[in-house]
Amino acid sequence: MTNKKFAQRIGCVALSLFLSGCIPKSIIDEVSLMHYIGFDREKKMLKASVVYPNYATEGNSTLLTAEAKNPSSLQNELGHKSQFEYEVGQLRVMIFGDKLSRYGLADVLDTICKDPKIGVIRIVISDGSPDLILRKTLNKSPLYLKNLIDKSIEDEGIPDINLHVMYDQYFGSGIDMSFPNLKVDSKGDIKIDGMGIFKGDKLKFKISDKEAFLLKLMMDRNKNGVYSFNLDKNEHKGNIGVRILYGKHKVKVIKEGNQEKAKMDLTLNIKLEGLPKGVKLEKERDLILFKKALQKSISTEAESLLKDFQANGVDPVGLGRIYKVNRSNYSEQNFYKMIYRNMKFDVNTKIIVRQTGVGNIES
């Protein structure tokens, strides 16, 4: 009796062990784990370029391209060109070419939203075709491009954009998408160059590095980056870069007469590295003068950036979303047609000089 029971139990265990062999398996050397994928539009077709490292042969990474009419068959087309099956599970960066961004990303974005295998990836756009950029990454280390973008977002004043933020901005009302922009510079290095601002799923216009940093100050929690400005007051002249360590932003939309006004308060803690000749921060007067000049510079530039957005009819800061908070009868269309167009902007900056380094400040 006990023997029979024992045999039954062993049988059960053995059966479940064998059955787990039914699970589909992927052997790491026998899949193409793509790290980067670039999408662009070519001759009315969707073109994808993928980069995957060759772990088996220890060679450089490989770049493959394929064209198809829709994103799903694209994967198939790519599969026809490679010896191993594709896996998108380790995808880190997705690049959209200029033509596709201007044509509209909806097809591709809807497909990624439905694919549970894609993790929280970085999404960027590029000047020209993504091929140019991906080709440059081939002889670098496999995660080069991902680290480059991560670091720029962490320290160098590019707004934090990833798949989650994309969902938020793409589906959410009262905010528009924006992605960092990549380009290959004249020396042949990959470089982050400003951002692209979208309206709906279409690229509307691009902003410079400096403007991207201002945008980051207005929307991100992390405000790390360097702001450079021209000091031109009395006898002090020169271009300085200040590093912003951390800070806060507070955005409000208030009614002023018939107009809505977006009021933005920035509190920024900065670190001074170099100062132009003649500015001595020990002197109270110089410090105040310097702070005022910096505050004014940031405020005016931020205001003109907001006006720029307004003129182009885009809202990457998400003012619509802030407007919505206190109004139950909000409609996105109405807001952008009637209110946003006539909105006024008021940016107030408060600077706190936290550090001036350890060197002798008197020079």
DSSP E strand stretches across the chain = 31-33, 36-42, 45-52, 62-68, 85-87, 93-96, 122-126, 178-184, 190-199, 202-207, 225-233, 236-256, 259-272, 344-355
Q: Which span (48-56, 96-104, 322-330, 341-349) binds other proteins, by CB under 8 A?
A: 322-330
Size of the site for other proteins (CB under 8 A): 30
Q: Which span (177-185, 267-275, 306-314, 319-327) binds other proteins, by CB under 8 A?
A: 319-327
In the bound state with other proteins, the residue whose beta carbon lies nearer, of 54 and 90, is 90
Residues 243-272 that bind other proteins (CB under 8 A): none
| Cβ neighbours around 349 below 10 Å, total | 22
In the complex, the smallest distance separating the C-beta of residue 229 from other proteins, rounded to whole angstroms, is 30
In the complex, the smallest distance separating the C-beta of residue 227 from other proteins, rounded to whole angstroms, is 24
Contact mark string toward other proteins, 17..56, x via CB under 8 A = --xx-xxx--------------------------------
In the bound state with other proteins, the residue whose beta carbon lies nearer, of 158 and 231, is 158
Tokens describing residue 88: 């998108």
How many helices (H) and strands (E) in the chain?
A: 11, 14
What is the rounded CA–CA span in Å between residue 185 and residue 234?
37
The amino acid present at 353, given as its one-letter code, is: V
H/E stretch holding 331: none
Q: Is 16 in the site for other proteins (CB under 8 A)?
A: yes
Contact mark string toward other proteins, 182..221, x via CB under 8 A = ---------------------------------------x
In the bound state with other proteins, the residue whose beta carbon lies nearer, of 76 and 326, is 326
Q: In this structure, are residues 175 and 169 in contact, taking their beta carbons and an 8 Å threshold?
A: yes
Q: Give which of 108, 101, 94 is closest to 35, Cα–Cα.
A: 94
Taking every pair of Cα atoms in the chain, the longest distance, rounded to a whole number of angstroms, is 103
| Cβ neighbours around 355 below 10 Å, total | 12
Count how many Cα atoms sit within 13 Å of the Cα of residue 43 in the half-sphere of its side chain: 3
In the bound state with other proteins, the residue whose beta carbon lies nearer, of 89 and 276, is 89
What is the rounded CA–CA span in Å between residue 185 and residue 190?
6
Contact mark string toward other proteins, 152..181, x via CB under 8 A = -----------xxx-xx--xxx--------
Q: Is 12 in the site for other proteins (CB under 8 A)?
A: yes
In the bound state with other proteins, the residue whose beta carbon lies nearer, of 296 and 327, is 327
Q: Give which of 139, 142, 126, 136 is closest to 189, Cα–Cα.
A: 136
In the bound state with other proteins, the residue whose beta carbon lies nearer, of 1 and 358, is 1
Per CB under 8 A, the list member of 29, 59, 119, 363 interacting with other proteins is 119
Q: Is 107 in the site for other proteins (CB under 8 A)?
A: no
Binding stretches for other proteins (CB under 8 A): 9, 12, 15-16, 19-20, 22-24, 89-90, 113, 116, 119-120, 163-165, 167-168, 171-173, 221, 321-322, 325-328
